Amino acid sequence: MQVFVKAKPKTTKEKIERIDENHFIVWVKEAPEKGKANEVIRKKLAEYFKISYSQIILKSGFSSKNKIFEIKP
């Protein structure tokens, strides 16, 4: 399953908002430097879906606010 994420780094609160079945907005406190924000987004998605962190892979958008994550069963 692919999940499309709009990242909002460097915010004061961390949260996830589901737009529809596959689209999310994720707010994180980390700055978008050296992949730190990407890792926190992966962790937040793992918590949201109640799955292991290793089941989520960033496929596209490493340096973009629009990201595509793949969730493996």
Number of domains in the chain: 1
pLDDT for the residue 73: 84
Domain that holds residue 40: 2-71
pLDDT for the residue 45: 96
* pTM assigned to the model: 0.92
Compute CA distances 44 → 16, 23, 38, 41, whole Å.
8, 14, 10, 5
Residue 47: strand, helix, or coil: helix
Tens of pLDDT, residue by residue, the chain (73 residues): 999 999 999 999 999 999 999 999 999 999 999 999 999 999 999 999 999 999 999 999 999 999 999 999 8
Q: What is the CATH number of the domain that holds 34?
A: 3.30.1200.10
